[in-house]
């Protein structure tokens, strides 16, 4: 199956700093990528839909200025958590859909963010 | 938007027994329903999926059924093994082709 690479797998940062997470589709072109957030023992909550070459679509309640998404190429989307605070600590995971009509989603390995 | 309900939240079975997890969805336009297995700290892994033009799909010990009229779909695991222990998520695709997930079922298979 298709491979989605996510980096870094774990990051610890100080409150007030920004953190960038990368999501790459390794063997396919992803016109659309999705960013999810998962708290311990909870479900995956969709944060935003990232479309190559256009602005991301954010879900209700997700601050677009807080979680900056860039999808500049067909193989790379980035999520930047700006001015991170302890409440932003979570497991962030991206997923990518190959092509435009195939619903199968492939997930990255996730990034565990801990803000001190 | 799509709302996916999943039950039960926890399920404990003995090795060899069957496990059933049920989900309902709200958007009648949803047409793709995958099931994911997630082990602690790992990415969700697709284990089986079903499209709305099919009522049942089976892959070895795993099967999924879909009742489109009632907007129900279920995961069935037969002959459970300890390595089946994990959190299972159902999902339904929304109009933007993103997946909306259920809240998950923590399955424990005891030897």
Tens-binned pLDDT, residue by residue, of chain B (111 aa): 678 999 999 999 999 999 999 999 998 888 899 999 999 888 899 999 999 888 999 999 999 999 999 999 999 999 999 999 999 999 998 777 788 999 999 999 999
3-state secondary structure labels for all residues of chain A: CCCEEEECCEEEECCCCCEEEEEEECCCCCCEEEEEEECCCCCEEEEEEEECCCCCEECCCCCCCCEEEEEEECCEEEEEECCCCHHHCEEEEEEEECCCCCCCEEECCCEEEEEC
Please answer yes or no on whether B41 and A42 come within 8 Å at the CB atom: no
Q: What SS3 class is residue B53?
A: coil
Partner residue opposite A46 with nearest CB, options B42, B98, B104: B98
Per-residue pLDDT, A102? 62
Instruction: Give Cα B72 distance to the centre of its chain.
Output: 11
CA neighbor of B87 nearest in space, from B105, B69, B70, B66: B105
Question: Is pLDDT of A41 > 90?
Answer: no
Please answer yes or no on whether B101 and A43 come within 8 Å at the CB atom: yes
Q: pLDDT grade, residue A101 (50/70/90)?
A: low
């Amino acid at each position: 199956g298709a491979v989605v690479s996510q980096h870094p797998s774990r990051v610890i940062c100080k409150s007030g700093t920004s953190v960038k997470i990368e999501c790459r589709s390794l063997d396919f072109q992803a016109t659309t990528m999705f960013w999810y957030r998962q708290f311990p023992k909870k479900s995956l909550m969709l944060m935003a839909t990232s479309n190559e070459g256009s602005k991301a679509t954010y879900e209700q309640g997700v601050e677009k200025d807080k979680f900056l998404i860039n999808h500049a190429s067909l193989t790379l989307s980035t999520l930047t958590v700006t001015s991170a605070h302890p409440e932003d600590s979570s497991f962030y995971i991206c997923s990518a859909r190959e092509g435009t009509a195939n619903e199968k989603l492939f997930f990255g390995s996730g990034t565990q963010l801990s803000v001190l | 938007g799509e709302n996916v309900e999943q039950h039960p939240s926890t399920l404990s079975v003995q090795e060899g027994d069957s496990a059933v997890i049920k989900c309902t969805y709200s958007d009648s336009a949803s047409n793709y329903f995958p099931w994911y297995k997630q082990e602690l700290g790992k990415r969700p892994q697709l284990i089986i999926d079903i499209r709305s033009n099919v009522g049942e799909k089976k892959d070895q010990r795993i099967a999924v059924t879909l009742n489109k009229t009632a907007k129900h779909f279920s995961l069935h695991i037969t002959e459970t093994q300890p390595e089946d222990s994990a959190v299972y998520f159902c999902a339904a695709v929304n109009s933007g082709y993103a997946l909306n997930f259920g809240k998950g079922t923590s399955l424990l298979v005891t030897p």
